[in-house]
Homo-oligomer: A and B are copies of this chain.
Amino acid sequence: MSFVVKRRLALLPTDRSLSGALGLARGVDVLGLREAKKDRTRFQLLEAALDLIARQGFEQTTLNEIADAVQVSPRTLLRYFPTKEDVIVSWVDEGMAVLREGLEARPPGESRPEALLAAARDMLAAYQARGGFFLVIERAIATSDTVAARKQQMMEVLARDVSAILAEREDGQAQHGEARSSLIRDVHVGTVFAIIRASIRSWVGTNGGRPLPDLFDEAACAVRFVET
């Protein structure tokens, strides 16, 4: 029996689908009752987790508490999210994943720095467009080192994907050894992610006082990419 008072965060109307919450298109017209319920549960779990974590911190909040708040068994919670950290972090991951598509959609003629910066900026614009959604999530992440580590890890995976996309996009232009060109590519990608991270940190630190894309532009001025 749980006596936790459920305080709605009102991030979004709960009758809205999960896909809608992220502002992501999911090829769906009408979700079946089943899928709608799943979407709703998934989002409720996020809400409960954010609420509890905001009050108690991440490590002090147990799986049981989160599950109880949504009246779901802990076993079920772990079927929705592979780990406790993922309850929070997977949303950021979904948000950032648009970087992949964005990058692939850039015109082929564009230089690597142009494409990278443009795609990253677009992603952060979408990030910003979700209102306080990601701001709340980022704040929750910032309260725990282990969650922050997990987010970093996901961004690392994303960085590899981005690097791979660039490699394919630019094949045939390799004028140096493979090792050297991938080294430099990794530096470029890593630098863009450094800009992204710094922007987000500043954004969170000032409670979203300034638009994220603006911060990104400002941050991007701090470095210049040297092309081979």
Contact = CB atoms under 8 A, between A and B. Distances in A.
Interface stretch (A4-12, A15-23, A56-64, A188-196): A188-196
A41 interface: no
A183 B189 CA distance: 19
A180 to B, nearest CB: 7
A149 interface: yes
B194 A191 contact: yes
Interface in A170-209: 179-180, 182-184, 186-191, 193-195, 197-199, 201-202, 205-206
A165 B156 CA distance: 26
Contacts of A180: 218
Contact of A224 (B150, B198, B223): B223
B222 A223 contact: no
Interface string A46-78: 000000000000000000000000000000000
A111 interface: no
Nearest to A180: B218
A226 interface: yes
Nearest to A193: B194
A149 to B, nearest CB: 4
Contact of A187 (B150, B198, B225, B226): B198
Contact of A206 (B150, B179, B187): B179
Contacts of A206: 179
Given A191-B194, A226-B224, A219 B149 contact: no
A204 to B, nearest CB: 12
Contact of A152 (B149, B191, B220, B223): B149
B219 A183 contact: yes
Instruction: Sort A-B residue pairs by CB-CB distance and give the 3 closest, nearest first.
Output: A190-B194, A149-B153, A186-B198
28 contacts: A148-B153, A148-B156, A149-B150, A149-B152, A152-B152, A152-B153, A152-B156, A179-B202, A182-B202, A183-B198, A183-B218, A183-B219, A183-B222, A184-B219, A186-B197, A186-B198, A187-B194, A187-B222, A190-B195, A190-B197, A191-B191, A191-B223, A193-B194, A194-B194, A223-B225, A223-B226, A224-B225, A224-B226
